[in-house]
Amino acid sequence: MKIIDRYLILNVFLGFAVAAALLLPLFSTLDLVGELDDIDEGYRLVQALEVVFMTLPRRAVDLGPFIALLGGIAALGQLAVTQELITLRAAGLSATRIGMTTLAAGLILAVALAIANEFIASPLQQKALQTRSQAMASTKGNSKDGSIWGRRNDQFARIGSLRLGHIPTQVEVFEFDEQARLQQYLYADYADIQPNGVWELHNVQVKRWTAGEESFEQRDRMTWQSILPERRLRDVSFPAESLSSRQLYHYITFLRGSSQPSAQYEVALWEKLGTPLLTLAMILFAVPFAFTQVRSTSLGSKLALGAVVGLLIYLVNQIIMNLGILFGLSPPLVGTAPALAMLGVALFWVFRFDRKR
């Protein structure tokens, strides 16, 4: 049996390779077309190609469930066409037994994609986003990636952008009293991050309101005890989908500690944990596709039907994620329940197919 298991796993991995070779160039071309719209004097074609290349691992991770489904259908479907699956069934191997061997290949793929997401895809995607924003800022005159907010007690802080990825610019600090009345407003052009959370602010404007009177002060430099996580400041400027699981966990901890909403990032974290489960579900769905109507249905038709099923599952999963954030549902439930449900359906389908046969 070990020889048969190795043979099946080898064929499934060949199917994964074929599916990846078809899907990755297609989606990378679409990504490049999207980047071409932003090409200008600062952001050139060479940089656009570099950005697309650096986001290729992220695209592979995102397409992992599709690769598992289509690769499994291609591998098992080809074995069905050559009558090898029928031979294995005649030798006493059940569909469940073949499905579990296929699931083992899917488990290896899911673990590999999870490791790649953590240590390859996320760092490269963040580097690509930084390269893109810096190149576009060189001609558009700013490097704004989106504001970064922080809060501690009655003090709020905002950073307009990060110059060169690590220099806070357009720094604003708001201080309120116990009645939620603004007591002090501070604005600085940029800040130098010092040890122990101290920032040296430059070109500072300070406004204060005391007993109904307003005062104004202009300073060249001023120190400020930051309430923002300077060790991970660059991380929090990136979109949630580009962060690794560790970065998401640390940022969620910061948001909770500063009484800010963190549902979007919690769902993103649990979605990353649910993606391997969805990959396993997809590879199991390939088993009934391979066995159903072997003679009357061509391999191309099965692949087309599998692509439609995969797309529907992806759309349903995204709808559930967004509805979960909108209605404030439990992030662990929103992030993993769809994948667990699909895995349960796939297992039921395989076992039911075996009983019917």
State the pLDDT at residue 118: 94
Residue 249 CA from chain centroid, whole number: 13
Within a domain: 97? yes
Number of H helices, E strands in the chain: 11, 6
Q: Do 154 and 133 reside in the same domain of the chain?
A: no
The Cα–Cα gap between 349 and 357 comes to 12
Q: Is there a single domain that holds both residue 61 and residue 123?
A: yes
The verdict on residue 256 lying in a domain is no
Are residues 9 and 128 part of one domain?
Answer: yes
Q: Residue 7: which residues within 8 A CB-CB, separation 6 or more?
A: none
202 and 319 in a single domain? The answer is no
Rounded CA-CA distance 232/249 in Å is 12
- Give the count of domains, the chain: 2
Q: State the pLDDT at residue 114.
A: 95
Residues 103, 12, single domain; the answer is: yes
pLDDT, position 123: 94
Rg (CA), the chain: 26
Instruction: Please say which residue of 221, 237, 253 terminates a domain.
Output: 237
Residue 88 to residue 315: CA distance in whole angstroms: 36
The alpha carbon torsion through 292, 293, 299, 304 (nearest 10 deg) reads -70
Determine, yes or no, domain membership for 243: no
Return the pLDDT at 141: 47
* 349: containing domain: 2-139+262-356
pLDDT of 310: 86
Q: 305: which strand partners? A: none
CA distance 198 to 255: 20
Residue 86 lies in a domain: yes
- Reduce the DSSP state of residue 39 to 3 states and report it: coil
Between CA 107 and CA 101 the distance in angstroms is 10
- Measured between alpha carbons, how far is residue 340 from residues 64, 230, 274 in Å? 16, 37, 8
pLDDT tens, per residue, the chain with 357 residues: 588 899 999 999 999 999 999 999 999 999 999 999 888 878 899 999 999 999 999 999 999 999 999 999 999 988 988 889 888 888 888 888 899 999 999 999 999 999 999 999 999 999 999 888 878 766 554 444 467 888 888 899 999 888 877 789 999 999 999 888 999 999 999 999 988 889 999 999 999 998 778 999 999 999 999 988 766 676 777 888 899 999 999 889 888 877 788 888 999 999 999 999 999 999 999 988 777 655 555 778 888 888 888 888 888 888 988 888 888 899 999 999 989 999 999 888 888 876 765
- Whether residue 178 lies inside any domain: the answer is yes
- Shared domain for 325 and 229, answered yes or no, is no
Tell me, yes or no, whether 38 lies in a domain: yes
Residues 269 and 127 grouped into a single domain: yes
What pLDDT is attached to residue 111? 96
Query: Looking at the structure, do residues 203 and 315 belong to the same domain, yes or no?
Result: no
- Do 135 and 10 sit in the same domain of this protein? yes
Q: Do 344 and 285 share a domain, yes or no?
A: yes
* pLDDT value, residue 21: 95
DSSP state of 196: G
φ and ψ at 292, to 5 degrees? -75, 125
Whether 345 is covered by a domain: the verdict is yes
- Distance, in Å, from the CA atom of 188 to the CA atom of 206, rounded to the nearest integer, reads 9
Q: Which residue has the tokens 């895809």?
A: 121
DSSP letter string, 200-233: EEEEEEEEEEETTEEEEEEEEEEEEE--S-GGGT
The conformational region for residue 170 under phi > 0 = left, psi -120 to 50 = alpha, else beta, is left
The burial of 265, by beta-carbon neighbours within 10 Å (0-12 exposed, 13-18 middle, 19 or more buried), is given as buried
DSSP per position, 238-293: S-GGGS-HHHHHHHHHHHHHTT---HHHHHHHHHHHHHHHHHHHHHHHHHHHHHTT
Structural domain contains residue 94: yes
Assess whether 222 and 344 both reside in one domain: no
Residues 21, 128 within the same domain:
yes
